[in-house]
Structure 1
Amino acid sequence: MSHDEAASLLASGVEANIIAALVSIGLNEQDRGWAEVICLRSLNRDSEAVVASAITALGHIARRHGVLDMKAVLPALNTAKKKFPTLEATVADALDDIEIFT
């Protein structure tokens, strides 16, 4: 989906739309800075599914772009893991991608 379509889905407030947008952003978004900011913001949501999608998207962004703002990403991932302990494996997978590709 396009950048504008993803932004529209994010703004909808509908969980399924937000998840679809995050998946697309992780896999397709060309504006790395914007994608990273959106994922970091999404880590603060109350929905475990949305947070999981944002974590996975950060791993994809690292793989595709080869860089992330680690000073922002690492604390955010740790906070997400504390908020949702069931996402520990998802965070570990994202950190593996980040370590390999950045």
Structure 2
Amino acid sequence: MLAVRLLNNGNYEEINGYDQRKTFDDLHSGESKKVVNALLSHSFHEDDWKQVQDICIHHSSDQNSNVRGIAILCFGHLARIHGELELEHVLPIVKKALNDPSEFVRSHATSALDDIKFFLDLR
């Protein structure tokens, strides 16, 4: 699966799959761009959806709004790609993010919630 993200300049950047070591290192680097790319890579390429979900739960409360927003968005990716989430853990986080001070986080929460509802057939 080709995974891309839109950059601020209007161009797209491919998100490649990372090995476990690079993912772990980047998630713990403290550098928001590395964390964001690791979250996206992991959500698109890791087969263990629960592991990705737990990592996203952890990063969904990050102080950096870019990290927080992407962590929330990745819940929607997981719903679409794997068709599974622990809704009792994820839905409260996504719903809370709908009221985040950051427009970036709020918009990704809206997208994630739409994907979760659609791909997990919630009404």
Fold agreement, TM-score > 0.5: yes
Matched residue SS, 2:61? coil
Q: Is it true that 1:82 corresponds to 2:99 in the alignment?
A: yes
Matched residue SS, 2:62? coil
Structure 2 gaps, min length 5: 1-17
Whose Rg is larger? 2
Point out which structure has higher relative CO (alpha carbons under 8 A, 6+ apart).
Answer: 1
**CA–CA distance in structure 1, aligned partners of residues 90 and 101 of structure 2:** 16
Report Cα offsets for 1:44-90 as digits up to 9, x if no partner.
11110001111111111111110101111111112333333513221
**CA–CA distance in structure 2, aligned partners of residues 84 and 4 of structure 1:** 33
Q: Give the superposed CA RMSD.
A: 1.3
What code does the residue aligned with 2:49 have? Answer: R
> Residues 41-56 of structure 1 correspond to what in structure 2 (within 5 A)?
41-56=58-73
What code does the residue aligned with 1:58 have? Answer: F
Q: Which stretches of structure 1, 4 residues or more, deviate above 3 A after TM superposition?
A: none
Kept in 2: contact 1:56–1:94 (CA 8 A): yes
> Residues 1-40 of structure 1 correspond to what in structure 2 (within 5 A)?
1-40=18-57
**CA–CA distance in structure 2, aligned partners of residues 67 and 26 of structure 1:** 12
Kept in 1: contact 2:76–2:116 (CA 8 A): yes
Q: TM-score, normalised by structure 1?
A: 0.90
Kept in 2: contact 1:3–1:29 (CA 8 A): no
Q: TM-score, normalised by structure 2?
A: 0.76
- How many aligned residue pairs are there? 102
Choose between structure 1 and 2: higher helix proportion: 1
What code does the residue aligned with 1:61 have? Answer: L
Choose between structure 1 and 2: higher strand proportion: 2
Structure 1 gaps, min length 5: none
